Amino acid sequence: MSSYDFAVMGYYEAIGQLFIPIMNLSFYSFYMKDFFSRTDEENERIMAILIKFLSLINLGIIFVGTLLLLLYFQLAKVTFPIYPYAILTLFSLYFSVYSSFLGLQYKMNKEGLKFFAIQIINTILPIAFGLYLVIQLKLGAEGRMMGVLLTQFILAVLVFKMNFIKIKLDFNIIKKALSFGYPLIIIAFLDIPSLYIDRILLERLKDVNAFALYSIGLKLSGIVLMLGSAIYQAFEPDFYKFVSQKNKKGFIQISGFVYGFLLVVTILFSLCGKLIISLLTSNRYTGAYQFANLMVWSNFLLLFSYALTVILIVQNKTKLLLYRKIMIAVIGVACFITFIHYGGFIGACYAKIIINLLNSGILLYYIVVSRGGVKLIHQLRFKKVRKHHF
């Protein structure tokens, strides 16, 4: 694929993230919330109602979203065309609702083989379709995105077999789901400035080749993020257990093991990033290493914040987490605008590092405050003042 294809995919990946919160309405969390207190029949009925509602409302969201994108693309004179990429992106998200609920049902029912099969299909099929459409039919980014859409459509067909269309909408359940989900939707939107707005702003620089290298660097450094997230999720119950039991030694040991390993992986990637990217891109896009080597540190800081978040969740300090999201959203926009203006694509990488560093710093500050750390510091200072005075 050409640098233009990579740039298009990177840009529309960011565009897609803008629509995800409003196209799932956090219904997945609502479905899981009381899953084990309901019967299998109730769970299937509620899932069918939620899917049917999202199926109807998301058609309207796609229509309105396309009109808004058309307006933005015209006003901002966006480099990339809206057709067919916006349509492929939005309808991939539309059908992903079905596969997500299907995978969620298998996961909650502890049907490991079926859940694993869904994950394999979601991984292998887009690659297989993409290879055919890109290599054989020479469709470039369009072919790669069509591969994702075809995969989601095939998985959606499996959900259609459940005959959910026959089940009538229950607006009491929809109302409860919306009431439960709207704070989570707000929180999800607050993540957008610090995670995805960079590519929206970088497009304004009108440098397709640099945008492609940035997108490739982001994608490849994301491999470390995926690895780190998988490792963290494997040990996440232990983090919660040690914090709830106030077992400081256990928490420090598990944190040292997880983040010590991730630190080593991050350092190795930074040292070997140029070679790795050179091999993976057949020496065509080696320049992406300069972005990947910085973004991998941003990913490490993001992963580090996960453990800090657990402490506040267990202490029931969820409002502090919301305040932190708001602060980081505002800081994120300011950082990206400033650093991109003065530093371009490299500036965006440094902005990511600073944003995630501040994110972890705010969490650490909250933890100190919630444990009375500030009060202790004031007491120590007061004692020193009194001792000096006498």
Q: Which of these, 294, 360, 297, 334, lies nearest to 193 by C-alpha position?
A: 334
Name the residue range of residue 114's domain: 1-195
Q: Where is average pLDDT lowest: 54-63, 90-99, 108-117, 346-355?
A: 108-117
Q: Is 162 buried (19+), middle (13-18) or exposed (0-12) by CB count in 10 A?
A: middle
184, 217: one domain: no
Please check the confidence at residue 342 and state whether its pLDDT lies above 70: yes
Question: According to the model, what pLDDT value does residue 115 have?
Answer: 83
Q: What is the mean pLDDT of residues 112-129?
A: 87
C-alpha dist (Å) from residue 290 to 11, 200, 228, 268, 343: 19, 20, 21, 14, 13
151, 211: one domain: no
pLDDT-derived band at 305, boundaries 50, 70, 90 = very high
Q: Which of these, 30, 39, 18, lies nearest to 101 by C-alpha position?
A: 30
59, 79: one domain: yes
Q: Can you tell me whether residue 83 is helix, strand or coil?
A: coil
C-alpha dist (Å) from residue 309 to 298, 312, 336: 17, 5, 24
Q: Which residues contact 328 (CB under 8 A, 6 or more apart)?
A: 190, 193, 194, 355, 358, 359, 362
190, 212: one domain: no
- The owner of tokens 């233009």 is 4
Its pTM stands at 0.84
Task: Judge whether 201 lies within some domain.
Answer: no
210, 191: one domain: no
| Number of domains forming the structure of the chain | 2
Residue where one domain finishes, among candidates 130, 164, 195: 195
> What residue type is assigned to position 232 of the chain?
Y
67, 132: one domain: yes
154, 299: one domain: no
127, 241: one domain: no
189, 219: one domain: no
Q: What percent of the chain has pLDDT over 70?
A: 93
Q: What is the DSSP letter of 167?
A: S
Q: Distance (Å, rounded) from C-alpha 93 to C-alpha 65?
A: 12
Please check the confidence at residue 370 and state whether its pLDDT lies above 80: no
Q: What percent of the chain has pLDDT over 90?
A: 55
What average pLDDT is seen over the chain? 88
